[in-house]
Amino acid sequence: MTSLGDQAGRDFLSIESNPPVSNNLSEIFSERFAVSISTKKLQSRPTCPFDFWRLSLTGSQFEIGQQLAEFALKTLSMPPQGEDELSAAEERSLDDIFKTYCSTLSQRAEGVAALFADRGLKGNRYSLSIADQPPPFACSAASFASPPSPMLIRNFDFTLRSLAELVGMPAAQTRPMVDPVVLMKIAPDVGRQTISMVSMDLFVGAIDGINDAGFCAALLSLTNENAIPKTPRFDRFDELSIVRILIEQCASVSEAVELFRDLPKYTVFLPCHYIVADRHSDSAILEWDDKGAHIFQGTRGGRLVCTNHCVATPDAGIKTTRQSDNTGSVERYEQLSHTLQDAPHDRDAAWKAATLVRLNAFDAQADVFGGTLWSALYGLDPPSLEVRVLGQADDGIGGYNSVPIEYLQHGSPRNA
């Protein structure tokens, strides 16, 4: 395993400036819309299977929105979104649900919209999509008490094919759907600080993450079957938005359960469920269907395992899954449960458990096709994130790069 320290990053980019203080957007734009972005590219295609960035954002929520849009447009060359321009009714619907359920993201979206306007672009201010197609195939996660800090470990498993390759189209020079991946640290002047692993959408696409209250959440799919994306809705949150909203808003599992029950939700691509945990050693699995939200509450201080079959939804547990399990979900669930039951609850045991259920990311010819793209270990008190990212092939076995641990200072949301 390789360590990716500051000296190992490629193409270091640091754009530092002081945004002008003004409530007049025309005055800001006249100063060339200066924003402050601190980024570092830790690995690059084609040497590695996907680009991996570390991104740190600070300032007001409005300024953080500007920075996200700047990073998407300038650094990632996100295509203009003119074809995705929303109708007035669609924009009002999005404004309403974000202001109701996550006002910090509503403020952040104003910054995205302002930078788009300055560049003569139009589009959905609540989405900075950097992928052809949304979320994942198979993942594994577990939370457990580990004095002095509870932890949550997760593997993120996904294809490294492009959308074109998956549907049998010519795909020369086409990047994987998951590319790029961003380790994003946000420290706003007002609101919760967060660290998250982001892909597919810079604005809402947190696949897993933690906030400064020591609350952590991760997304896992409930199927790996091919799916056709549904028509987007603008009065509900899709499956990729949930983790971002939870870590922006919640300080505990109980708060997350309450908010999850209340959120208007729909599935745009693949049904997902979510594992959440907090620094008090509480944990839960959150699921929903057309009958409403379903919650499986973990035992305080105990372990809670989550893979790719329903746990909380009635009549949809392991027994049902065994009959049609093509993801290895039950096998990984039982292996994680057994490993964590017999092992000491420490960081080494967590990494060992994650390694045991990693999926091979290379075929027999050492060609990349998918698997565990990263393993993330979240410490909940103090809040921290340690990541090991798929970096290269070694005789058909995935090699993982270790990223230095990121920390957050535990505390309440910052006030104006």
Question: Residue 248's pLDDT is what?
Answer: 98
Residues 6+ apart with CB under 8 A from 194: 184, 185, 186, 206, 209, 210, 211, 212, 247, 248, 408
Question: Residue 391's pLDDT is what?
Answer: 84
Question: Residue 277's pLDDT is what?
Answer: 97
Higher-pLDDT residue of 396 and 248 is: 248
Question: Residue 82's pLDDT is what?
Answer: 46
**Any idea what the Cα angle at residue 315 is, between residues 310 and 320, rounded to 5°?**
65
Domain boundaries, the chain: 2-118, 140-407
Question: Nearest to residue 136, comparing CAs of 335, 278, 362, 307?
Answer: 307
* pLDDT-above-90 percentage for the chain: 47
Contacts of range 76-83, beta carbons closer than 8 Å, 24 or more positions apart? 76/130, 76/180, 76/202, 78/128, 78/129, 78/130, 80/121, 80/123, 81/116, 81/121, 81/122, 81/123, 81/124, 81/127, 81/129, 82/121, 82/122, 82/123
Flag whether pLDDT at 262 surpasses 80: yes
Task: Fill in the amino acid letter for 141.
Answer: A
* Alpha carbon 102 to chain centroid, angstroms: 17
Dihedral Cα 171, 175, 178, 184, nearest 10 deg: -170
Residues 6+ apart with CB under 8 A from 32: none
Q: Which residue bears the tokens 């209250």?
A: 213
Q: Which two tokens stand for residue 135?
A: 């979320």
Cα distance between residue 49 and residue 31, in whole Å: 39
Entry pTM: 0.86
Cα distance between residue 384 and residue 406, in whole Å: 5
Cα distance between residue 54 and residue 43, in whole Å: 10
Flag whether pLDDT at 259 surpasses 50: yes
What's the half-sphere exposure (Cβ side, CA atoms, 13 Å) at 122? 8
Q: Which two tokens stand for residue 204?
A: 């809402």
Cα distance between residue 166 and residue 160, in whole Å: 10
- Spatial contact of 263 and 237, defined as CB atoms under 8 Å apart: yes
Instruction: Report pLDDT digits (tens) over 354-367.
Output: 999 988 766 556 56
Residue 8's SS3 state is helix
Question: Residue 210's pLDDT is what?
Answer: 98
Cα distance between residue 175 and residue 344, in whole Å: 41
Q: Which two tokens stand for residue 106?
A: 């509503």
Task: Fill in the amino acid letter for 104.
Answer: T
What's the half-sphere exposure (Cβ side, CA atoms, 13 Å) at 102? 29
**Averaged pLDDT for residues 309-325:** 66
Question: Residue 361's pLDDT is what?
Answer: 61
Structure confidence at residue 160 as a pLDDT band (50, 70, 90): confident
User: Which whole-number Å values give the CA distances from 223 to 93, 129, 138, 208, in the listed order?
Assistant: 29, 22, 7, 18
Question: Nearest to residue 248, comparing CAs of 92, 52, 151, 109?
Answer: 109
- DSSP per-residue codes, 98-146: HHHH-HHHHHHHHHHHHHHHHTT--S-TT--B-SSS---S--EEEEE--
Flag whether pLDDT at 221 surpasses 70: yes
Mean pLDDT of the residues in the chain? 81
Residues 6+ apart with CB under 8 A from 47: 392
* pLDDT-above-70 percentage for the chain: 75
Radius of gyration of the chain (CA): 20
Dihedral Cα 283, 201, 64, 43, nearest 10 deg: 90
Domain 140-407 in CATH: superfamily?
A: Penicillin V Acylase; Chain A (3.60.60.10)
Flag whether pLDDT at 10 surpasses 50: no
Task: Fill in the amino acid letter for 105.
Answer: L
